[in-house]
Amino acid sequence: MRKVELFMKEKGIEIGDYVEVVEEENGTRVTHRGIVMPPYELSKGETLTIKLDNGYNIGILIDQIVEVKILEKAKPREEISFKEVLPKKPGLPNVTIIGTGGTIASKIDYKTGAVHAAFTAEELAKAVPEIFEIANITPKLLFNIMSEDMKPQYWKKMAHEVAKALNSGEDGVIIGHGTDTMGYSAAALSFMLRDLGKPVIFVGSQRSSDRPSSDAAMNLICSTRMAVEDFGEVAVVMHGETSDTYCLAHRGTKVRKMHTSRRDAFRSINDVPIAKIWSDGRVEYLRDDYRKRRESEVWVDDKLEEKVALIKVYPGMSGELIDFLVDKGYKGIVIEGTGLGHTPNEIIPTIERAVEEGVAVCMTSQCLYGRVNLNVYSTGRKLLKAGVIPCEDMLPETAYVKLIWVLGHTQNLEEVRNMMLTNYAGEITPYTRFDTYLR
Positions annotated as catalytic residues are 103, 179-180, 257
Q: Which stretch binds its own copies (CB under 8 A): 13-21, 56-64, 81-89, 112-120?
A: 56-64
Identify which of residues 136 and 270 has a Cβ nearer to its own copies in the complex.
Answer: 270
Q: CB of 98 within 8 A of CB of 158?
A: yes
User: What single DSSP character describes residue 35?
Assistant: E
Taking only Cα atoms into account, the Rg of the chain, rounded to an integer number of angstroms, comes to: 23
Q: Which of 95, 115, 135, 310 binds its own copies (CB under 8 A)?
A: 310
Which of 192, 342, 363, 429 is in the footprint of its own copies by CB under 8 A?
342
Smallest Cα–Cα separation from 179: which of 204, 201, 202? 204
* Listed ranges 107-115, 158-166, 203-211, 405-413: which one lies at the site for its own copies (CB under 8 A): 203-211
- Residue closer to its own copies (CB basis): 124 or 404: 404
Residue 434 touches its own copies, criterion: CB under 8 A: yes
Among 72, 133, 195, 320, binds its own copies (CB under 8 A): 320
Site string for its own copies, 157-186 (x = CB under 8 A): ----------------------xxx--xx-
Which contiguous run of DSSP H or E holds residue 402?
A: helix 396-407
Identify residue 413 by its one-letter amino acid code.
L
Q: CA-CA distance, 53 to 33, in Å (whole number)? A: 7
The least distance separating its own copies from the CB of residue 86, rounded to whole angstroms, comes to 32
CA angle 330, 332, 337 (to 5 degrees): 120
Concatenating the DSSP letter of every residue in 300-314 gives E-------EEEEE--
Residues 268-297 that bind its own copies (CB under 8 A): none
In the complex with its own copies, which residue's Cβ is closer, 85 or 258? 258
Can you state the angle between helices 320-327 and 348-356, rounded to 10 degrees?
10
For the segment 215-244, give every residue that binds its own copies (CB under 8 A).
242
Contacts to its own copies from residues 371-430, by CB under 8 A: 371-373, 375-379, 381-382, 397, 400, 404
Smallest gap, in angstroms, from Cβ of residue 364 to its own copies?
10
Q: Specify whether the backbone of 12 is left (phi greater than 0), alpha (psi in -120 to 50) or beta.
A: left
Amino acid at 357: E
202 lies in the binding site for its own copies (CB under 8 A) = no
CB of residue 49 to its own copies, shortest distance in Å: 7
Nearer to its own copies, 224 or 365 (CB): 365
Residues with Cβ < 8 Å from 38, sequence gap 6 or more? 15, 49, 115, 116, 117, 118, 144
Q: How far is Cα 79 from Cα 287, in angstroms, rounded to an integer? A: 46
Within a 10 A sphere around the Cβ of 438, how many other Cβ atoms? 8
* Among residues 90, 91, 315, 430, the one that binds its own copies under rule CB under 8 A: 315
Closest to its own copies by CB, 181 or 350: 181
Min separation Cβ 438 and its own copies, Å: 4
Which of 10, 210, 280, 414 forms a contact with its own copies (CB under 8 A)?
A: 210
What is the rounded CA–CA span in Å between residue 336 and residue 321? 14
Least separation in angstroms between CB 260 and its own copies:
3
Residue 164 beta carbon to its own copies: minimum distance, rounded to whole angstroms = 22
**365, amino acid identity:** S
**Residue 69 DSSP symbol:** E
**Min dist. Cβ of residue 367 to its own copies (A):** 5
306 binds its own copies (CB under 8 A): yes
Beta pairing partners, 284: 276
Q: Is 435 in the site for its own copies (CB under 8 A)?
A: no
Question: Judged by CB under 8 A, does residue 369 bind its own copies?
Answer: yes
Contact yes or no for 256/265 (Cβ under 8 A): no
Identity of the residue, 60 or 222, whose beta carbon is nearer to its own copies in the bound complex:
60
- 267 neighbors 255 (Cβ within 8 angstroms): yes
Q: Check residue 148 for interaction with its own copies (CB under 8 A).
A: yes
